[in-house]
Amino acid sequence: MPGAADFVQRTVHALEEGAGAKWVKIALTVFAILALSVFYLVHEFKGFATSQAMDQAQIGRNLARGEGFRTQMIRPLAVGQLEAHGKNVAEKIWYDTYNAPLPPLVDAIALKPFKSSWAMTPRDIIYPAEKILVGLQVLLLLGSVVILYFIATLLFDDRLAVLAAWLVLLCDALWRYSISGLPQMLLLFLFNGTLYVLLRAMLAQTGGGRVGLWLALAGVGFGLLALSHALTIWIFLGAFIFCIFHFRPRGWAAVIMLATFAVIYSPWLVRNYAVCGNPGGVAIYSVLDGINHPEAGHMRRVELDLADVGLGHFKNKFTGNTVLQIGRGLEYFGWSFVALMFFAGLLHIFRKPETAAMRWLVLCMWGFAFIGMSIYGLSEELGVAANQLHLLFVPIMTCYGLAYLLVQWNRLEIEFRLARIGFLTLLFLICSVPIAFTFLTPTTRTIRWPPYVPPYIAVLNAWMKPNEVVASDMPWAISWYADRKSLWLPETIHAFTEFNDYNTFGAPVNGLYLTPISGSQNRLGDILKGEYRDWAGVITRNIDLQKFPLKWATLLGLENECVFFSDHDRQRIAVP
């Protein structure tokens, strides 16, 4: 039939060259992204990976309940800070001053519609609420890539924007952080949004327009970044210095950005001061991480021992972290060879003034972030670090690195289309090696053991009452999975006893939960002489329970590597 043949011909033509081709490409792109997301989540997600992720999530759940920025996790150092400033410990200890406020708030917004996911049962291998929060992080990652696409189209062109977006989507490190529970994807979303606003300010200046509104919005973006992770203030410092010299009128334009940043961020500092007497909260002491003790060692002390801390310690820490970042540079940039080419691209002269200027802005922000990470450190948990900010620069650096490599290829003047395709394919293959190995490596466990076995932690919800406190070497996990108040195991048994005897928290400490964090993950010498040495007898289970305040004990966890002590025999429930 001529009519049918003509219809088929028109349809094929539309799909190949007409308007239909655009929608086919969009549909295939969306399908590929969804397939990548689902496959990564199914293959790799085993629950949250870090203490900070669980800590922020339990605060987010409290926010969703309408309880405000309250925490169920107690740091002994916070007790000392409150006492030093004459605060009521029993009242103020439940107001968190360690975490940045925006990640818990975003978690609360995601959890609010799903109240049925808040309670974890011993039958749940992966906490349902974690699936919701990780799904949000993946959406933030994809949203960040969309913003990157628009940035790249303004800096370069559509084709490079598409290629760069796919290179970013194939970065294994970004996906690994998106399922860790850490707020890095929220940071990336806000960072890319702030970059877009700054780029608009540059375009406005180039076109003779006003930049004040754009810089004010950039200040808001940096303020939100600081409310998501205080270490990003170092990124803001880099951007602020750049803006002083780049925008006109010189200095005044940067002041606009500083003013809006202060308006956004300062209320949180005032709130912390009202709660604990220090605008930095208990988080201010994170700078001591790695000086005589890890951060955990300092947080478990009621009073800081700064007698042996001097400038030499900070110098050694700064030097060590600087060497670490340089030595592991490729790893911190997600093993993206193209992203690292950003630094080589600094030698190239770009024609567009905003493209040339943006690279110096990126370099300035990254340089200050590097300094901040050297000062505070990059302590890792299960392969991810809460302070890892290099990751934020991977997408924008990938754009510049790819542009530089394409320029060098064009200079070879190889007029052979297949050769160009082969060159691009090689770049993609190199950058996708880590994610390919991730997919090809078989998954051995469905949980992050050691040290986490969520069902054996969730059981404490039934064993402990809401007004009781459990001391533990993983209080963040008890607060999150068991939804019970938890005290970070104090440095000494004496401090633990005093907390209970003097009713410091307005609630009795009637439980003690020990895990491989203080036990089997350490050598015997580390247990006897390390951070938990005062608890060595309890950890090695050589203590006489009749002489211990908590006289009832039961084994939990895989291969009974966890132990729970209590003041009496608690009603037990079935644990799968």
Nearest Cα residue to 329 out of 318, 317, 340 = 340
**Contact assessment for residue 110 and residue 562, using Cβ atoms and an 8 Å cutoff:** no
For the chain, state the CA radius of gyration.
26
**DSSP label at residue 346:** T
The pLDDT of residue 5 is 56
Instruction: Please tell me whether residue 45 adopts helix, strand or coil conformation.
Output: coil
Beta strands in 40-133 (DSSP E): 73-74
The pLDDT of residue 574 is 42
The C-alpha angle 168, 22, 18, rounded to 5 degrees, equals 150
* Cβ density class 178-216: b for 16+ within 10 Å, e for less: bbbbbbbbbbbbbbbbbbbbbbbbbbbbeeeeebeebbb
**Contact assessment for residue 227 and residue 264, using Cβ atoms and an 8 Å cutoff:** yes
Within 8 A by CB and 6+ apart from 543, the residues are 537
Nearest Cα residue to 57 out of 72, 46, 45, 42 = 72
565 φ, ψ to 5°?
-105, 145
**Contact assessment for residue 451 and residue 516, using Cβ atoms and an 8 Å cutoff:** yes
- How many angstroms separate the CA atoms of 100 and 82, rounded? 19
The pLDDT of residue 571 is 59
pTM of the model: 0.93
- How many angstroms separate the CA atoms of 149 and 157, rounded? 10
The pLDDT of residue 307 is 72
The pLDDT of residue 569 is 78
Residue-wise DSSP of 473-536: S-HHHIIIII--EEEE--SSHHHHHHHHHTTTTSS-EEEEEE-TTTTTTS-HHHHHHSTTGGGH
| CA 298 to the chain's CA centroid | 21
Q: What is the pLDDT of residues 310-346, one digit of tens each?
A: 888 899 999 999 999 999 999 999 999 999 999 999 9
List beta partners, residue 471.
Answer: 487, 512
Q: Which regions in the chain score pLDDT beneath 70?
A: 1-23, 571-576
List beta partners, residue 486.
Answer: 73, 470
- How many angstroms separate the CA atoms of 404 and 495, rounded? 59
- How many angstroms separate the CA atoms of 160 and 157, rounded? 6
User: Residue 88 class from Cβ within 10 Å (0-12 exposed, 13-18 middle, 19+ buried)?
Assistant: exposed
The pLDDT of residue 530 is 84
Residue-wise DSSP of 250-282: TTHHHHHHHHHHHHHHHHHHHHHHHHHS-TTGG
Tokens of 2: 């001529």
Within 8 A by CB and 6+ apart from 428, the residues are 166, 167, 170
